[in-house]
Structure 1
Amino acid sequence: MPEPLEQDHGTRVAPSGRGGCAQTVGPPGADCAALQSEVEGLRAALSSRPVIDIARGILIASTPCTSRQAWDVLVAASQNSNVKLRDIAHQLVESFHGSPLPPATRCALHTAISHTRAR
């Protein structure tokens, strides 16, 4: 296999593979760091997904809304309170099990539900 071609800014161009297209390869370790970051983000998303789905179910059961509207409520509450959606969902699920819902989250959810109903 031929060596990658060096360019003047440190980026290497790998020889073309089966598809015939050359791939740009960044500095050593950059691809690994980017992939590691992506893997961590995907793991966080996978671990928080069940809690988000349960929170959507709670909203559907407690307010007359569709699954899409429940999602929109969680997104709006997250954006308006500057709290991650997974944290809003976790707080809502915990409140269903008896923990008090933080006042800021309660207000953000109430506002988001009101706006969703008004549409």
Structure 2
Amino acid sequence: MSDEENLRLYKEDLGIFTYTETGFDLENNKYVNWNDIRKVTIYKEDLIAIDCIYISIELETDEVFRINEETPGYYQFMLKLEEKIQISPTWFPDVAFPAFERNEAVIYDKSKISFSQ
């Protein structure tokens, strides 16, 4: 299989997630409504030779779960986050650069959203 085909399959893989219009199921045991997401934080961990990007999701129930870029379905999950809760569009460069720095940032905070137009 070519590198291009591997990349395409990676980008299409839903992995451990199943999606509905109102939310997602995580490994068939935890359903999360998009509206129940309170905060999304990104950061990197230095793994000596490489960095790994982590996404921490805080829910209204005070539950927190974490995925990273090695989690099956990560790419599609990030696309869905961008679409459903409108995370900061600069999240990737914010966390990726500079290399080997933690670069922690909150990319979504429900308490700071204004609903008045």
Q: What TM-score do you get using the length of structure 2 for normalisation?
A: 0.26
- Structure-1-length-normalised TM-score: 0.26
Higher RCO (CA 8 Å, separation ≥ 6 residues): 2
Please state which structure has a larger fraction of its residues in strand.
2
Q: Which has the higher helix share?
A: 1
Larger radius of gyration: 1
